[in-house]
Amino acid sequence: MARAAQGKELRVVTTHLPPLVVENDDQNPGALRELLNELCKRVQMSLKLEFVPWKRALFLATSMPETAIFPVTRLLDRETKFRWLAPLYEEHYMFLAARNGKFDIQHPEAMKARRITLLRGAAQATILQELGYRNIIEASSIEEVHRYLLKGMADAAFGEQHIIQNSLTSRSAQKDFHLSAPVRTTTAWLAGSLDFDDATVQLFQHTKAAMDADGTTRRILGKYKLA
């Protein structure tokens, strides 16, 4: 399997999601970018990485041949849309709201009529709908999610714990917002279009398992305080 992959180029689409995936920073490219770099090194494939808005990334990975995407939340309604190449990271989803706002962060189950903003195309929309939230406002980027909160266009945001905390820290806005306890935990994957063959899937999964076993995964996640 390794010989079959050797020398091939892996096309991967993603979006800017610090601290998991960071655009234009080769020194600190994000925890999951570093995991992907190591995966590609071990399977001897060169990496061609493209940053696009998340909804477009999902479109490309389900419509273009031999195209992978990360980090994709593995949910039931996505199961048959991708080949699942490697589990990368345990995600913890929670609410973020202004301290003086209308969203009761201690009782989010009572806030289902409030306006919730999240990244367009993200799995969080499915999770929220399963939980009974219907007033969902999609944003094109993490920056736009934050802007919707600041301008009062949304009462709360819903997203991954470390992405939200990074957004607050980068704006020195921790004192202005508060977070709920995690309401759902899922796994983020490197996934591929349906034309990835079984040998490639097995190669990536076995290689990632080896990275977990030898401590590489924990070391990389720990560098970003995610382990």
pLDDT in tens, 164-179: 988 888 887 788 899 9
DSSP reduced 3-state for 60: helix
Cα distance between residue 36 and residue 5, in whole Å: 15
Cα distance between residue 212 and residue 206, in whole Å: 10
108 prior amide bond cis, ω within 30: no
- Would the pTM count as exceeding 0.75? yes
Render pLDDT for 63-91 as a digit per residue (tens, 0 to 9): 999 999 999 999 998 999 999 999 999 99
Q: How much is the pLDDT for 174?
A: 81
Residue 55 clears pLDDT 90, i.e. is over it: yes
Cα distance between residue 164 and residue 27, in whole Å: 22
Residue 2 clears pLDDT 60, i.e. is over it: no
Tell me which residue of 167, 170, 172, 175 sits closest to 139, measured CA to CA. 167
Tell me which residue of 186, 204, 196 sits closest to 62, measured CA to CA. 196
Pairing mode, strands 116-119 and 83-98:
unpaired
Q: How much is the pLDDT for 21?
A: 97
Render pLDDT for 93-129 as a digit per residue (tens, 0 to 9): 999 999 989 999 999 999 999 999 999 998 999 999 9
